[in-house]
């Protein structure tokens, strides 16, 4: 140990101030003048104990008795007091003295320790008692009482020194947790000298766990959060049962090292490995572990857990059209919303891409309801701000209950996935619970998808035409092209049985190109034959976001000789809801290319009337569900007619099946209709012969 503590002088300076309470004792002389201050001073000099007062702040001896001068090899008290101790005091001794000073000032502590001092370079081992003492100037100095320790074995001396200087924090506690001893390092971080073992921990439960472990055996290498003078820190502790050397009572020897930096680095690495960096949610790796925990909690409490899979509708489109930064922003926004809706013990994870998982512990009584899923839908029912603009974010949810629908994580995941698949393909129900028959449906869908890919290659499609007629004279005034699939084994397949799969898989883009080219050719052919009837074709929302579709449509008049002004593009109301990125721009360009824009199935969806006038709309087709309304007065149809009138849009009533409906429409100013009353969709040749008949009758 090279550290040097103060070397010593002789007595004289009278810097010592008795504590307030002792003032009385200063009124000399005592015992009728027999005891004088000089006598008292001479007693200090006769003592075999070295006594001195040390000014920690100025690193100076203030006073010392004769024994001290002897120990410190000082010529006189003046010489001792004039020694410049600051010059060769090591930083660790300085730090320790500062610590003592604090302990004296704050806690009035005293310490017994073995010190080695080096007066004139020679080591002297001292048994020290250190305490605080108030100076006349109001400051606190250190009163040192020291005896030489000739009898100490070198081994003991070294171990005492080691205990004093080690950075390992060593403490001794009685069995009930009372602090018995702390070495310097332990004292330096302990907020108060009498801090018990339990109060040492940020979480008192940790103390209990330790004592339980340490009670039987040694608890080693356990990391816990500890209260220290520098705030909460992570310590690695070893607790070992022992006996207090003074009382012989059972005690605990605790050694600690500060591992905060290491622990935090490890935690950070663990966090990064288990969380998604973009959203901060748990990632797929961490999910298995978390799910196991939550399902176990549900089992223990007899609760239902619901596993939700949430998928964003048309996320690819957002990424493709608004850019990846907007896509990232949307994912973060969704993650934030999901976190807000979930309870603290629920799991919210990002599985990758635009797919999220929530595992929610249901409150008793709500086991089978889908209230949470509905809440999610509700949260996304209003437009969200993406890239600074309000946009509708469609979500689909599939869910399954534990333990009712399955007990293994693997099954639950697969079940929720099947339910999600259904939610994605069903525009009317976006929150779907798993049902056993879904597996069959999914297999069917997958089979259709494979089949469709083949059908596109060999072109098994054809178009039927359903005429539009005039309510007044029953003449054909146009037609809608409706796709049919001629399956080599299954026969004729109607669009409702394959268009949703084509839309979901993106195959609709290829199919749509074929349909539009065919319709363009048909229109050119009709014009050549002098049948001046406009033709409508259906365009799926995702086609509008396909840049290839726009250029293809712009090229068609040149390539086929069609007149775009006699071709109507039927779009569903979803394009008005902001669901389709860039819809308005694309529609304006299509309009510029000459095509007519018609809203199909009007009134069936969630019409956003407020936005209707922003779009270049030439016509509206009233959904066929409203034809039933006609018998009851047709209030809604009247409303749609007046709206269309205000917008200057043409109206066609769809699904007209009775003469009463046709008559009502005629009376109410709607002169275009489509429906089985006039004709079902018919093959091209049949449609052409209808036009031919009509032309011949007209010519008669
Ligand atoms: P849509 O565009 O609303 O077409 C009208 C549908 O109503 C047609 O069904 C038609 O046969 C049916 N319909 C017409 N009149 C009546 C009637 O009086 N009563 C009843 N009950 N139904 C009537 P279809 O041909 O099965 O087509 C269904 C849907 O498939 C279409 O609805 C359209 O959304 C879609 N679709 C058809 N062809 C295409 C296409 O080429 N591309 C795209 N993207 N979708 C298409
Ligand atoms: Mg249509
Ligand atoms: Mg329709």
Report cis status (omega within 30 of 0) of the bond before 29. Answer: yes
In short, whether 570's Cβ falls inside 6 Å of ligand 1 is yes
- Give the pair of three-digit tokens for residue 18: 């008795």
Residue 679: pLDDT band (50, 70, 90) is very high
Residue from 482, 499, 537 whose mutation best tests the ligand 1 pocket (most atoms within 8 A of CB):
482
Contact 395, 310 (CB under 8 A): yes
Enumerate the β-bridge partners of residue 356.
310, 350
- What would be the CATH architecture of the domain defined by 277-436? 2-Layer Sandwich (3.30)
Task: Specify the CATH number of the domain 23-151.
Answer: 3.30.450.20
Calculated CA dihedral for residues 158, 159, 162, 163, nearest 10 degrees: -150
Parallel, antiparallel, or unpaired: how do β-strands 305-312 and 250-258 relate?
A: unpaired
Handedness of CA 212, 214, 218, 222 (dihedral sign): positive
User: Which-ligand-closest: CA of 568?
Assistant: 2
Q: Supply the pLDDT for residue 440.
A: 85
Q: What is the DSSP string of 594-625?
A: T-EEEEEEETSS---HHHHTTS---EEEE-GG
Report the residue count for the chain. Answer: 700
Rg (C-alpha) for the chain, rounded Å, is 45
Parallel, antiparallel, or unpaired: how do β-strands 395-402 and 389-391 relate?
A: unpaired
Calculated CA dihedral for residues 215, 216, 222, 228, nearest 10 degrees: 10
Contact 359, 420 (CB under 8 A): no
Task: Provide the whole-model pTM.
Answer: 0.56
In short, whether 499's Cβ falls inside 6 Å of ligand 1 is yes
Residue from 456, 504, 538 whose mutation best tests the ligand 1 pocket (most atoms within 8 A of CB):
538
> Quick one: DSSP state of residue 203?
S
Task: Identify the burial level of 409 via C-beta atoms within 10 angstroms of its C-beta, where 0-12 means exposed, 13-18 middle and 19 or more buried.
Answer: middle
All residues with CB under 5 Å from ion ligand 3: 600-601, 654
- Give the pair of three-digit tokens for residue 55: 């000014």
User: Which-ligand-closest: CA of 674?
Assistant: 1
Contact 33, 104 (CB under 8 A): no
Q: Phi-psi bin for 49: left (phi > 0), alpha (psi -120 to 50), beta? A: beta
Q: Which residues contact 374 (CB under 8 A, 6 or more apart)?
A: 431
Q: Which residues contact 131 (CB under 8 A, 6 or more apart)?
A: 104, 109, 110, 111, 142, 143
The residue extents of the domains of the chain are 23-151, 166-265, 277-436, 455-699
Q: In which element (H, E) is residue 653 found?
A: strand 650-653
Contact 598, 580 (CB under 8 A): no
**Residue 367: is its pLDDT beyond 70?**
no
- Give the pair of three-digit tokens for residue 253: 């020897």
- The predicted model gives 498-505 an average pLDDT of 90
Contact 341, 347 (CB under 8 A): no
**Residue 507: is its pLDDT beyond 50?**
yes
**Secondary structure (H, E, C), 236-304:** EEEEEEEECCCCCCEEEEEEEEECHHHHHHHHHHHHHHHECCCCCCECHHHHHHHHHHHHHHHHHHCCC
Please tell me the distance between residue 465's alpha carbon and the centre of ligand 1 in angstroms.
10
Residue 213: pLDDT band (50, 70, 90) is low
Handedness of CA 662, 663, 665, 666 (dihedral sign): positive
Number of helical H runs and strand E runs in the chain? 24, 27
Q: What SS3 state is found at 161? A: helix
Tell me whether the CATH fold assigned to 166-265 matches the one assigned to 455-699: no
Report pLDDT digits (tens) over 167-208: 899 999 988 889 999 988 998 898 888 899 999 999 988 888
In short, whether 515's Cβ falls inside 6 Å of ligand 1 is yes
**Residue 463: is its pLDDT beyond 90?**
yes
The topology under which CATH files domain 455-699 is TIM Barrel (3.20.20)
Alpha helices for 342-464 (secondary structure H): 371-379, 409-425, 438-458
Report pLDDT digits (tens) over 307-337: 999 999 878 777 777 788 888 999 999 999 9
28 or 343: which carries more pLDDT confidence? Answer: 343
Cα–Cα dist 61/78, whole Å: 9
Calculated CA dihedral for residues 327, 333, 335, 336, nearest 10 degrees: 160
- Give the pair of three-digit tokens for residue 685: 């040749």
> Quick one: DSSP state of residue 2?
-
In short, whether 655's Cβ falls inside 6 Å of ligand 1 is yes
Measured from the Cα of 495, ligand 1's closest atom is 30
The topology under which CATH files domain 166-265 is Beta-Lactamase (3.30.450)
Residues of the chain above pLDDT 70, percent: 91
Average pLDDT of every residue of the chain:
87
User: What is the CB neighbour count within 10 angstroms for residue 659?
Assistant: 9
Report cis status (omega within 30 of 0) of the bond before 166. Answer: no
In short, whether 661's Cβ falls inside 6 Å of ligand 1 is no
Please tell me the distance between residue 443's alpha carbon and the centre of ligand 2 in angstroms.
28
Please tell me the distance between residue 552's alpha carbon and the centre of ligand 1 in angstroms.
24
**Residue 246: is its pLDDT beyond 90?**
no
Cα–Cα dist 313/560, whole Å: 35
Handedness of CA 349, 355, 361, 363 (dihedral sign): positive
Q: What SS3 state is found at 531? A: coil
Please tell me the distance between residue 660's alpha carbon and the centre of ligand 2 in angstroms.
23
Residue in the structure block whose two tokens are 């207090």: 244
User: Which-ligand-closest: CA of 494?
Assistant: 1
User: Which-ligand-closest: CA of 601?
Assistant: 3
In short, whether 623's Cβ falls inside 6 Å of ligand 1 is no
Closest CA to 96 of 191, 194, 4: 4
In short, whether 657's Cβ falls inside 6 Å of ligand 1 is yes
Closest CA to 682 of 467, 407, 419: 467
In short, whether 492's Cβ falls inside 6 Å of ligand 1 is no
Q: Supply the pLDDT for residue 125.
A: 82
Cα–Cα dist 638/307, whole Å: 46
Calculated CA dihedral for residues 358, 276, 316, 451, nearest 10 degrees: -70
Which residue's alpha carbon is at the smallest distance from atom 4 of ligand 1? 482
Q: Supply the pLDDT for residue 366.
A: 60
In short, whether 675's Cβ falls inside 6 Å of ligand 1 is yes
227 or 209: which carries more pLDDT confidence? Answer: 227
In short, whether 193's Cβ falls inside 6 Å of ligand 1 is no
Cα–Cα dist 225/235, whole Å: 6
Please tell me the distance between residue 346's alpha carbon and the centre of ligand 2 in angstroms.
44
Ranges 13-27, 45-59, 500-514, 679-693: which has the least confidence: 13-27
125 or 11: which carries more pLDDT confidence? Answer: 125
Q: Supply the pLDDT for residue 2.
A: 38
Residue in the structure block whose two tokens are 């809706």: 341
């Amino acid at each position: 140990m090279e550290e040097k503590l103060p070397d010593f002088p002789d007595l004289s300076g009278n810097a010592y101030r008795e504590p307030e309470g002792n003032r009385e004792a200063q009124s000399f002389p005592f015992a009728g003048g027999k005891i004088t201050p000089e006598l008292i001073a001479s007693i200090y000099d006769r003592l075999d104990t070295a006594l001195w007062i040390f000014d920690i702040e100025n690193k100076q001896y203030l006073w010392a008795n004769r024994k001290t001068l002897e120990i410190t090899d000082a010529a006189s008290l003046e010489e001792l007091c004039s020694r410049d101790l600051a010059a060769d005091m090591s930083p660790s001794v300085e730090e320790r003295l500062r610590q003592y000073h604090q302990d004296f000032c704050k806690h009035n502590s005293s310490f017994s320790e073995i010190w080695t001092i080096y007066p004139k370079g020679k080591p002297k081992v001292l048994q020290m008692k250190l305490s605080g003492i108030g100076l006349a100037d109001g400051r606190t100095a250190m009163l040192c009482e020291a005896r030489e320790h000739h009898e100490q074995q070198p081994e003991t001396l070294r171990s005492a020194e080691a205990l004093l200087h080690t950075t390992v924090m060593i403490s001794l506690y009685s069995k009930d947790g009372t602090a018995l001893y702390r070495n310097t390092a332990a004292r330096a971080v302990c907020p108060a000298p009498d801090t018990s073992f339990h109060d040492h921990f940020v979480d008192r439960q940790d103390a209990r766990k330790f004592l339980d472990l340490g009670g039987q055996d040694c608890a080693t290498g356990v990391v816990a959060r500890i209260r220290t003078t520098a705030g909460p820190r992570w310590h690695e502790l070893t607790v070992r049962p022992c006996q207090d050397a003074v009382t012989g009572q059972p005690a605990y020897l605790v050694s600690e090292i500060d591992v905060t930096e290491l622990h935090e680095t490890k935690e950070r690495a663990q966090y990064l490995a288990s969380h998604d960096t973009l959203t901060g949610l748990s990632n797929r790796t961490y999910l298995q572990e978390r799910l196991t925990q939550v399902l176990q909690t549900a089992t223990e409490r007899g609760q239902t857990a619901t596993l939700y899979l949430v998928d964003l509708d048309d996320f690819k489109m957002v990424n493709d059209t608004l850019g990846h930064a907007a896509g990232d922003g949307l994912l973060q926004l969704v993650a934030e919303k999901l976190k807000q809706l979930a309870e603290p013990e629920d799991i919210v994870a990002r599985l990758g891409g635009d797919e999220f998982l929530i595992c929610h512990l249901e409150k008793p009584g709500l086991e089978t309801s889908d209230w949470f899923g509905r809440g999610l839908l509700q949260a996304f029912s209003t437009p969200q701000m993406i890239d600074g603009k309000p946009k509708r974010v469609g979500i689909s949810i599939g869910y399954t209950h534990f333990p009712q629908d399955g007990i293994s994580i693997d099954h639950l995941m697969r079940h929720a996935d099947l339910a999600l698949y259904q939610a994605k393909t069903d525009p009317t129900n976006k929150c779907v619970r798993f049902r056993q028959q879904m597996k069959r449906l999914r297999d069917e869908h997958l089979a259709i998808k494979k089949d469709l890919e083949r059908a596109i290659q060999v072109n098994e499609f054809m178009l039927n035409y359903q005429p539009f007629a005039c309510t007044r004279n029953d003449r054909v005034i146009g037609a809608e092209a409706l796709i049919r699939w001629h399956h080599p084994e299954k026969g004729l397949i109607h669009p409702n049985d394959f268009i949703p799969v084509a839309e979901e898989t993106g195959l609709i883009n290829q199919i749509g190109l074929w349909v539009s080219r065919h319709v363009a050719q048909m229109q050119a052919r009709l014009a050549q034959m002098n049948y001046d009837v406009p033709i409508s074709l259906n365009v799926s929302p995702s086609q509008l976001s396909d840049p290839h579709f726009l250029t293809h449509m712009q090229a068609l008049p040149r390539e086929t000789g069609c007149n775009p002004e006699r071709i109507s593009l039927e779009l569903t109301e979803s394009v008005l809801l902001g669901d389709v990125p860039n819809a308005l721009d694309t529609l304006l360009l299509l309009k510029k290319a000459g095509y007519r824009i018609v809203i199909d199935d009007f009134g069936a969806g969630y019409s956003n009337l407020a936005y209707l006038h922003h779009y270049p709309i030439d016509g509206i087709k009233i959904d066929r569900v409203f034809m039933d309304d006609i018998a009851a007065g047709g209030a809604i149809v009247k409303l749609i007619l007046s709206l269309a009138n205000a917008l200057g849009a043409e109206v066609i009533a769809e699904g007209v099946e009775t003469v009463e409906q046709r008559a009502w429409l005629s009376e109410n100013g709607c002169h275009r209709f489509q429906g089985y009353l006039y004709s079902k969709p018919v093959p091209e040749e049949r449609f052409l012969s209808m036009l031919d008949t009509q032309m011949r009758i007209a010519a008669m």
